[in-house]
């Protein structure tokens, strides 16, 4: 990375100073090896998931480079599923914080693979304009585009804190929705609906009080993991319910106990979770099919062709 600066310099070969000579300065500091600068506009106008993807792209691409990656590896690096990564990429593209460059071929153990290539757009002007015109009133931007001494939305420290301590802006996880009482109440209801759905899947819904007491089932114990799951699904109740259903079908088909927390443990593989296929039996003996013909495996190892009715076959 280099830049040329015209000016008056000393030329050792010809002596004296010449106005036409130029000096080339090469910056070898490699700053991006040690830190990545993120505009405040990004931090205050994105969810934790979208923010993480943007930060990773900026870290890899630097100022003038691009970022290309395997979706599986990049999702693990960002700590999210591939489905969640796709949604965050779409969000960043929609807001023009990044741009899609095209497909790039990379070498893998399995051979060549084409992956998407992105670059981080220059949004410093947007960042500065927001905090000088709207985000922070009459406050000059600092050298990196943030707002200095911006106290908007920050409560005054009345307990003896340092008066000159830097104050941060409140985080806005969803800039497209106003944070009002109705929205907050609706969110609380979504948590309750999610816990109610969890109880239905577990077979705990609409039971007598004695049942919950005997089984030591406390409704409030599932509120916190339900809230965490809603946050993980970006407050999308349908997506959260879908995650519960997938884990429920997978676990129950294997006679495994499960809870809301199971989703967090299986998050990276949740799209791969499938119910266990039920096998067919006739009077307790395994039934299998070869070339369209059904056979019964007897306890002594003998294979007999099945000649009974399909209704006599059970699955488990």
DSSP state letters, 217-272: --GGGGHHHHHHHHHHTTT-HHHHHHHHHHHHHHHHTTT----HHHHHHTGGGGGG
Its pTM stands at: 0.39
What does the alpha-carbon distance between residue 307 and residue 73 come to, in Å, rounded to a whole number?
A: 52
Domains in the chain, please, with CATH? 1-151 (1.10.10.10), 181-272 (no CATH), 280-315 (no CATH)
Of the candidates 55, 47, 71, 75, which has an alpha carbon nearest to the alpha carbon of residue 267?
75
> Cβ(41)–Cβ(136) under 8 Å?
no
Inform me whether the pLDDT recorded for 257 exceeds 90. yes
Q: Token pair 């050298």 is at which residue? A: 143
pLDDT per position as a tens digit, 124-143: 888 888 888 755 443 333 43
Determine the distance from the C-alpha atom of residue 261 to the mean position of all C-alpha atoms in its chain, rounded to a whole number: 17
For the record, the structure tokens of 181 come out as 């009482």
Percentage of residues in the chain with pLDDT exceeding 90? 18
pLDDT digits (tens, 9 = 90+) for 10-59: 444 444 444 444 444 454 556 666 778 888 888 888 888 888 888 888 88
When the pLDDT of each residue in the chain is averaged and rounded to a whole number, the result is 75
Helix, strand counts (H, E) of the chain: 10, 12
Q: Which residue has the higher pLDDT, 25 or 308?
A: 308
């Amino acid at each position: 990375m280099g830049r040329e600066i015209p000016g008056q310099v000393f030329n050792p070969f010809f002596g004296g100073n010449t106005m036409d000579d130029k000096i080339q300065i090469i910056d070898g500091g490699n700053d991006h090896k040690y830190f990545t600068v993120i505009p405040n506009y990004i931090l205050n106008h994105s969810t934790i998931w979208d923010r993480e993807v943007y930060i990773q792209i900026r870290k890899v691409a630097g100022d003038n480079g691009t970022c290309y990656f395997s979706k599986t590896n990049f999702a693990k690096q960002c700590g999210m599923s591939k489905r969640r990564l796709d949604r965050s990429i779409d969000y960043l593209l929609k807001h023009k914080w990044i741009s899609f460059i095209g497909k790039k071929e990379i070498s893998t153990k399995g051979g060549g693979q084409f992956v998407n290539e992105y670059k981080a757009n220059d949004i410093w002007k947007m960042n500065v304009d927001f905090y000088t015109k709207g985000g922070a009133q009459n406050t000059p931007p600092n050298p990196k585009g943030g707002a200095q001494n911006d106290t908007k939305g920050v409560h005054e420290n009345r307990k003896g804190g340092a008066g000159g301590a830097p104050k941060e802006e409140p985080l806005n996880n969803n800039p497209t929705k106003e944070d009002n009482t109705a929205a907050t109440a609706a969110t609380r209801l979504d948590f309750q609906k999610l816990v109610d759905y969890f109880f239905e899947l577990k077979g705990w819904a609409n039971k007598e009080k004695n049942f919950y007491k005997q089984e030591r089932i406390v409704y409030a114990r599932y509120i916190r993991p339900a809230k965490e799951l809603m946050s993980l699904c970006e407050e999308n109740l349908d997506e959260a319910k879908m995650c519960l259903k997938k884990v429920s079908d997978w676990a129950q088909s294997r006679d495994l106990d499960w809870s809301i927390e199971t989703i967090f443990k299986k998050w990276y593989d949740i799209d791969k979770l499938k119910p266990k296929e039920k096998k067919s039996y006739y009077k307790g003996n395994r039934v299998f099919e070869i070339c369209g013909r059904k056979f019964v495996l007897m306890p002594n190892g003998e294979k007999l062709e099945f000649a009974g009715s399909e209704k006599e076959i059970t699955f488990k």
